[in-house]
């Protein structure tokens, strides 16, 4: 009898697992929508920013999403049986780090001075991070299908399979 959860514990876990995550995601969506409105990001700008994501970046995002949604990443990093609050905090922290890395990849610059990054790039990065945070998206390919659609819409003008690795190496070595 000592191993069973009480009604209060189950309600708390439900709140953290279901309602807490959904409220967090709703807040993130509202923030993205507000930022897009404030910066007057058009659909055409979003299309160009999303289509300019290298295919390898989309595949990396899908792999990360799969790891979060299937629990493999949680279990590896936190161990089984951890509290829902620690898993929620880990998910939000991991997605925030992914957002920063993905923004850096899209902007093509080492600095994360958000004033120098276009609003459309920030919206595209935030959108990818949001999809990763959403539950039950890790076994679908929505990021890839949207990338294909955006590539078609832009006529392949931004089609990139691999990011500019030579620019990346040059930037890391201080040459750019």
Which of these, 111, 128, 150, 4, lies nearest to 63 by C-alpha position?
A: 128
How far is residue 116 from each of residues 31, 33, 98, 111, measured CA to CA in Å? Answer: 20, 20, 19, 9
Q: Kindly state whether residue 2 falls inside one of the protein's structural domains.
A: no
Q: Kindly state whether residue 66 falls inside one of the protein's structural domains.
A: yes
- pTM (predicted TM-score): 0.76
| Domain total in the chain | 1
State pLDDT tens for residues 67-125. Answer: 877 777 666 666 666 677 777 787 788 888 889 888 887 777 666 677 778 899 999 99
Q: Kindly state whether residue 1 falls inside one of the protein's structural domains.
A: no
Q: Kindly state whether residue 48 falls inside one of the protein's structural domains.
A: yes
pLDDT category of residue 8 using cuts at 50, 70 and 90: very low
Among 69-78, 121-130, 161-170, the least confident range: 161-170
Q: Kindly state whether residue 85 falls inside one of the protein's structural domains.
A: yes
Q: Which domain holds residue 13?
A: 7-172
Q: Kindly state whether residue 145 falls inside one of the protein's structural domains.
A: yes
Q: Kindly state whether residue 63 falls inside one of the protein's structural domains.
A: yes
Quick check: 43 and 112 in contact, CB under 8 A? no
Q: Kindly state whether residue 77 falls inside one of the protein's structural domains.
A: yes
Tell me the C-alpha distance between 176 and 171, whole Å: 5
């Amino acid at each position: 009898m000592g191993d069973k959860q009480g009604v209060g514990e189950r309600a708390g876990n439900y709140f953290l697992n279901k309602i807490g995550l959904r409220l967090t995601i709703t807040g993130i969506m509202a923030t993205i929508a507000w930022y897009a409105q404030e910066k007057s990001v058009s659909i055409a700008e979003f299309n160009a920013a999303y289509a300019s994501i290298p295919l390898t970046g989309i595949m990396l995002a899908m792999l990360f999403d799969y790891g979060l949604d299937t629990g493999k990443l949680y279990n590896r990093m936190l161990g089984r049986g951890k509290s829902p609050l620690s898993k929620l905090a880990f998910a939000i922290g991991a997605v925030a780090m992914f957002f920063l890395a993905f923004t850096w990849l899209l902007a093509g610059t080492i600095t994360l001075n958000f004033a120098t990054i276009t609003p459309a790039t920030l919206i595209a990065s935030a959108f990818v991070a949001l999809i990763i945070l959403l539950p039950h998206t890790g076994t679908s390919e929505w990021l890839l299908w949207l990338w294909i659609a955006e590539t078609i819409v832009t006529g392949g003008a931004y089609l990139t399979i691999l990011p500019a690795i030579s620019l990346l190496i040059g930037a890391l070595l201080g040459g750019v």
